Structure 1
């Protein structure tokens, strides 16, 4: 009979009285006690964890997008590229999460849906911050956060900052002559595509060797938006599969509202130029 393996004999730490442990470092007691269910239905735990983990990934996305924007402003694009690549992979993880949630049937969800009240992912302030950071800026979307002055102030501050795409255009404008209405626009408003911007990006794509840094920046942005669009699409199909065309718990049109969001372009000229190349 073999002797049971004892990791301590190879130096593994086994005693953590007064010392930093894995659970301490990650605050696991607090994290794993945050799943408060409101019913005794089986699938409510899935629903809560799906959304809580999504918020954690979004927190990391905000961390990376904030740093990427700062690196671009500091003229350190290659450092920003790594962060943008990471954000794309974060949204790949968020996409995979829909596959788990889609195992919940309409019957499963309807068993606890009423307990959500008026709460809805539509009200996620982190998702709103990400949209604002990327350039999808709609001041009407501040209203769901009016009951939280701290969150409202944070989102209003974000609207005073250049979006990631604004910073990318500033970088582009260092090499190409872009109009003042693009470079000096009202940052709090949604961006409107401009032919001069598309022409500049098109030149980058036509002469990649001369503009490799801008070409790489453009492709990093497109790569990220690709995953972001997939996330939105998976959101729509998951909601339709689970609740059909019912109104959302937060009062939106549900699937109809989400389908409208599919039409939003974050970095429009980077998509439009492909037709003319």
Structure 2
């Protein structure tokens, strides 16, 4: 018998020896999270040191996007049923996840233009522009453009999900339905519009939001929802701005790998307003 076998058991509840160590019949941390699968997805195609960073940041962003889409869908399901309290928590989680996505750019900015050029040509036409989860997030938030479905035609499974989201009410459309259900005047042309088309600012919708903002106690649930929507769009803009500055400092004004103009395209995207009346209402109050 060894000295270790004969040693008395450690009775200190804080001792590391008391932690579970036999996982032959139960899930370990790595098993539950499938860490081997996760890390095996990091497959650089060159020997460039910074390619691993590039892949890691984009993988991390895709994980956050997956969570954001899940939370948006859950919140929208409840909003469509007239429930407003639980969706606020879900949208708060979306905001926090957006912050993490935005912070990821700060890590990527440690890669210099010379670092990037060592592997940029290796991934060909692959681009974040083709992210199905990012596109789903945009569609759910109301940024609608059928042209953006095209990069997903080679994946009928993804294309079908995105096409369905494109033609369904957005998060903002559901918020406007709630305004109508609260007795505020929203025209049928707004509530029953072609959801595949971009939303167009409407004076009647602005008037409805003005009523809410002038009497928040009476309309507290939709007032709080409106402010949460502003949080979501605010962070959406921050992410896009950080994306723009990261791209400009890395490749300047070169054409993007996905075929867009790069910085020019990203600057134009900054003009997108998801919830126009919620921003305009501040001026009108």
* Residue matched to 1:54: 61
User: TM-score with structure 2 length normalisation?
Assistant: 0.93
Q: Name stretches of at least 5 consecutive residues in structure 2 with no aligned partner.
A: 1-9
Kindly tell me the number of residue pairs found equivalent between the two proteins: 273
Whole-Å Cα distance in 1 between the matches of residues 218 and 74 of structure 2? 26
* 1:250 CA displacement: 0.7
Deviations 1:29-80 (A, max 9, x none): 1001110001111100000000011000000000000000011112210000
Aligned with 1:187: secondary structure?
coil
Aligned residue among 87, 98, 103 for 1:80: 87
Q: Name stretches of at least 5 consecutive residues in structure 1 with no aligned partner.
A: none
Matched, 1:211 2:219: yes
* Residue matched to 2:237: 229
Runs of 4+ in 1 over 4 A off after TM superposition: none
Whole-Å Cα distance in 2 between the matches of residues 160 and 198 of structure 1? 24
Aligned CA-pair RMSD: 1.3
User: TM-score with structure 1 length normalisation?
Assistant: 0.96
Whole-Å Cα distance in 2 between the matches of residues 94 and 134 of structure 1? 16
Whole-Å Cα distance in 1 between the matches of residues 210 and 100 of structure 2? 31
Whole-Å Cα distance in 2 between the matches of residues 131 and 182 of structure 1? 20
Aligned with 1:237: secondary structure?
helix
* Residue matched to 1:7: 16
* Residue matched to 2:137: 130
* Residue matched to 2:103: 96
Alignment of 1:19-168 (within 5 A): 19-168=26-175
* 1:117 CA displacement: 0.1
Deviations 1:102-133 (A, max 9, x none): 01000000110000200000000111111111
* 1:160 CA displacement: 2.6
The answer to which of 206-215 and 255-264 deviates more is: 206-215
